[in-house]
Chain A
Amino acid sequence: MHGKVAIHGHGIAAYCCARLLSQDGFEVACLGTPKSAGPTLLINQSTQALLNDVFGAEQNLFSDLPVIHKRIVLWGNETEPKILPHFGVVVNETALLERLRPSYTSFSEQADWFVHSTLNAAAGTEQHFGTRTANAAPVQLKTADNDACWVESLESGWLFLLPNGAHEGSLLAVGGPVRALLDESRLVAQQIEDVGGPETEFTAHPRILDPLCGPGWLACGSGAMSFDPICGEGSGNAVREAILASAVIRLPGDGLGHYTSRLLAGFLRHLEICTHFYVSARRSDWWDSEIAALERGIEWTRHRLSSLPQSNYRLVDFSLVPC
């Protein structure tokens, strides 16, 4: 045995860490209670490939799930929707986690490492870059044709409609309540027969823990940061963080600097891409204030990155190796 790792949380990042560390001989315990309900996720191709790699899946973990083949997008000043190919699968988060849940051990002794994959306020201070929230609601769709998802920017927010069954879907409204934003919609509203309830509200602006790690502990997944859903990158980023966290724990040397700089670089790229999408959709004060917060985030993250020394490691496969 290499040591003991206590992982706080039961999300994608937690289970990826548990998988990678336990197969390398660590004793791993996932602490806390699994969530009983989760959102509907669209898992893109690169995240599917990463999860299949991490879980050594001989058969594709996702082959039996419904596939989204196109994205229909009406964004910014476009007058007609764009139809783009897509190869994502639709899965409820809870059902996905059932597939990934590790058969881990538990232990009562002190752990050598702690991985916080849920927010641990004692570990650091959260930086928030924006105020927007998202409201998710189940919806009834007008048609049973369910291989397309829909994205639309509005005067005071944006909508994302993801079918998850015949005549059924999940609607995400960022910037306001579902019905209020649907009133502004020209594209998504046309696909919806009825809105169910209740709405679930959650944070949709980027946030990050500062610091991201310290001696004997690492923040990972939603314990480290959360992304704006506009990028469709939250799950993939959680897997990447878990791969890196596991590599740092396995490393005989000190990989905390590399961990911080890679996570900050990923967060910076997310902020840049978000800003690009938000600027291209800017139509009201709502967009302007969120763009200003994103720009503040870019400055903050660049400043943090500039104070870090150059990393002496590179991630090769699942391990950190000296440059």
Chain B
Amino acid sequence: MAGLEDLYREIILDHYRSPRNRGELEVPPAHKVEGFNPLCGDEVVLYIDVDPETETVRDIKIAGQGCSISQASTSMMSSAVKGKSLAEVHQLTRAFKALMSIHESKLEGEGDGSDLEAELEGVRLGDLEALQGVVKFPVRIKCATLAWNTLQQGLDEAEHAPSP
């Protein structure tokens, strides 16, 4: 049986107790997006500032409330994507979901996942790997992915929003 230490790694608890990038950004130029986990009431609020010239996440701030996994994951996500190009963010998102055993290409029936492995080779997840233990607690996977799904939604919205 997977123990609590597999789920609640020290780095996760650290991000939960001292979340990084907490705060707000001015909207616009930043884009605000909210994500909810209706089952348990987790709530994630992101302020994303994308530089349209360089297609880079110039800044990101986080707010919200919820369980340690959802809030720590949000904090870790914000640190991981800040300053990264949108292409890198996309790769990180895919890599993180793969870590959570969610393979979108497999779900969509394209190929056997080996393309994904090739694509993700060399993607450095860093601290995010601490969340790997969540996979052993399937009920909590949606807590860990909430931040990333919200980020994806926010970037999609920002991309399709009329430029200021």
Do these two chains interact?
A: no
Residues on A lying within 8 angstroms of B by beta carbon are: none
Residues on B lying within 8 angstroms of A by beta carbon are: none
